[in-house]
Chains A and B, each alone.
Chain A
Amino acid sequence: MSDAELATPFRQRAGGAMKDAFLQEALTIATTKFIGLRREAFASFPEGEALRDQARAIKEATLQRLDQHLETLISNVERLGGHVHYAETSAEARSIIVDIAKRTGARLAVKSKSMATEEIHLNEALEAAGVTPVETDLGEYIIQLAHERPSHIIAPAIHKTKGQVAELFTRELKRPAEPDPEALTLIARGELREKFLQADLGISGANFAVAETGTVVLVTNEGNGRMVTSLPRVHVAVMGVEKVVPSFTDLMVFLAILAKSATGQKLSVYTSMVQGPRRAGELEGPDEFHLVLLDGGRIAQIDGPLREALSCLRCGACLNVCPVYRQIGGHAYGYTYPGPIGILLTAMLEGTPAVRDLAHASSLCGACADACPVRIDIPRMLIELRREVDDRKIAPWPERVAFKLLAGLLRRPWLYRLAARAGRIAQKPFTRGGRIGRLPLVFGEWTRTRDLPPVAPRTFQERWATDRDLRA
């Protein structure tokens, strides 16, 4: 999202999304479908629960020796003839990749779907360097043509209708397109097939990297991951440092639960394991293979409050079940990663001030933690983020004052009783049908989107003090 869009407060962005009738319908259909598919997949997979526990343990165990696993990965990638690069920041990652493109004389780059390259805003940098980046995942291709950003981690264009896609193709590709998904897919196949065969540079992310064998693993349904890693003469894979797993045995545990959590498939159509550049005797595969290891704020969280979020597989399951995401969609969050996990990742990558409002974009219902294949306790970290937002005094002042007053009341029973009595009188003009629907002044912020229950005619404390039957 552009800075201009980010300048719009989160509430306004969310409010806009909630007034978009099509978006509302698309979100409901998509997220409901994904929830059902995921549930079915695990219902017929009795070992799933134990594998989720094991997957979580593997992630934690890997973090406990992350330095060693990365060293193993690096030495194996280099042994296989690949090159490894180290990027502390997004800017550094961009310049590494742009340098590779320039040195190899690349003009056209094909990209398979990668949240990491979205995160570092790679496309703009490539364009500035005279390299044309083409997104090849159908959803990503659509939003690239539309100059937008993904609205869902695994279904980036769920916010678009087939009519909108047809209009977009007609306008951008200068060829008439019917609003039929099959026909539109065929057009994209033709356009992108040529790009695959012409491209000099293939850019991908990495779902996993196996340290013991120097293997980069890509999971796709369309086959673009295979194209990008097989056809161009140079392949660059960008991965966050947390994506490493020790061995193939570990990898199988994750593969068994990843697709089930994302789309309800037992496995995605293609799981491609790439081990360095083309070998002797091979017809295809790149001459050069580069792996860019990305920090971007991750390393500081190994010993930080968001450590657990480093276990995320980017499956999107927590988005689908989140009552907030289901209402506002991905764009309203304003950053690369939407949904409950996206708030944590945004805090990790952009810093806590970036999530001042987003930290509250959760009902803390816990559905995300239940859906997460590696059982990340997202609500706990959201609460911690809220506390940090408060401690660092980046919350708006009326909110801070209101909660400070409330804290004072809760600590002094006599004051609390007094306030209850005063409240019973003061609330009279605002109570309608047993609810307080609107309050004046800064308190109006609270009642703008929710009702407040009035103080009871007799509070529990008052009843406890007098009613014998209550104590019996």
Chain B
Amino acid sequence: MTTRAEFLDRIRAQVRRAPGRFQAASARRPRHAAAEAEAIRRELAERWPETLEAFRREFEGVAGVFHRVASVDMVPAVVDGIVRERQARELVTWHPTALGADLAPALGARGLDVHSMPAAEPAGSAERERLRTIAARADLGLTGVDLAIAETGTLVLVSGVGRPRSTSLLPPCHVAVFDRTALVESLRQVGVLLEAWHGDGRAPAGGASINFITGPSRTADIELTLTRGVHGPKEVHAIFVEQPIRG
């Protein structure tokens, strides 16, 4: 068994011996990531309509379906429409605290079978298993969005309490709800935000997984024929809410 010390010693010896190929530096990290992240947010607050338009274009370019509503109480009607179109009725959703709004009553009133994910750690593995079975069975998963990247049409979701990874993964249809506060322009800006979350800034959630989602699951492994929904969702919808969701 190679130990950590032996392994690193061999690398160290090689590194010491090797002349660098050329003078090189890694990317310059933001010195005060939280402050820079805040500056980006402020700038974007001014020009969010252009950013949203760019996001919509890219998101549709990767086969996402874009919706726009005035306020969060109009979201259930859109979700209802998507569910009915699929002739389905069962959906799982992030917990209201993670979503920023409690949509379960309105969705339930429309005759949908809604399972809200818990805001506390499930007691025991049996309960964990039960919730996973529900997510695997559901026709639709409803989540929030932590970042929406205009450059690539990407939704960024951070896992955590009340926001399980499976909601955006196991159901064949994923619906994500977001507002202007999630919009960013570029991957470069995302880099600053990620640095801030891990440094002196505040992360949107405390889970161990950050997922970038750029359209529906796809493969071209059989004769290069593009096929959607191989493992993850076949459909991804993004609902933009004009009035910021958390007021």
Contacts and interface: CB of A to CB of B under 8 A. Distances in A.
B188 interface: yes
B218 A248 contact: no
A249 B191 contact: yes
Contact of A248 (B12, B195, B215, B233): B195
A252 B187 contact: yes
Contact of B159 (A221, A267, A282, A308): A282
Nearest to A311: B21
B120 A249 contact: no
Interface in A24-73: 26, 29-30, 33, 54, 56-58, 60-67, 70-71
A84, A245, A248, A283: residue with the most chain B Cβ atoms closer than 10 Å: A283
Nearest to A184: B222
A117 interface: no
A283 B118 contact: yes
Interface stretch (B23-31, B39-47, B83-91, B101-109): B23-31
A285 B169 CA distance: 13
A63 B1 CA distance: 25
B11 A273 contact: no
A185 B222 contact: yes
Interface stretch (A5-13, A295-303, A329-337, A356-364): A295-303
B222 A270 contact: no
B20 A223 contact: no
B208 A181 contact: no
A230 B187 contact: no
B160 interface: yes
A246 to B, nearest CB: 5
A278 B161 CA distance: 11
A307 to B, nearest CB: 7
A221 B219 contact: yes
B164 A273 contact: no
Nearest to A275: B208
A277 B137 CA distance: 25
A106 interface: no
Interface of B is mostly: loop
Interface in A65-92: 65-67, 70-71, 74, 80, 84, 86-88, 92
Interface stretch (A119-127, A157-165, A341-349, A415-423): A157-165
Interface residues on A, range: 35 or more
Interface stretch (A133-141, A319-327, A432-440, A442-450): A133-141
A222 interface: yes
B210 interface: yes
A57 B4 contact: no
Interface in A268-300: 268-285, 293, 295, 299-300
Interface string B1-32: 11110111011101101101110111111100
A156 B224 CA distance: 11
A285 B159 contact: yes
A226 B166 CA distance: 9
B222 A74 contact: no
Contacts of A144: none
Interface stretch (B65-73, B128-136, B239-247): B128-136
A266 interface: yes
Given A212-B198, A248-B194, A282-B161, A273 B211 contact: yes
A251 interface: yes
Contacts of B198: 212-213, 248
Nearest to B218: A221
Given A252-B27, A303-B18, 20 more contacts: A57-B24, A62-B26, A66-B11, A67-B11, A70-B11, A74-B4, A139-B221, A182-B225, A189-B231, A215-B210, A222-B232, A223-B232, A226-B211, A245-B26, A249-B27, A249-B28, A269-B62, A274-B209, A276-B208, A284-B132
Interface of B: 1-4, 6-8, 10-12, 14-15, 17-18, 20-22, 24-30, 58, 62, 117-118, 120-122, 128, 131-132, 136, 151-154, 159-162, 164-166, 169, 187-188, 190-192, 194-195, 198, 206-225, 227, 229-233
12 contacts: A86-B4, A142-B221, A193-B136, A212-B198, A241-B11, A246-B27, A249-B26, A266-B58, A271-B214, A272-B212, A278-B208, A283-B165
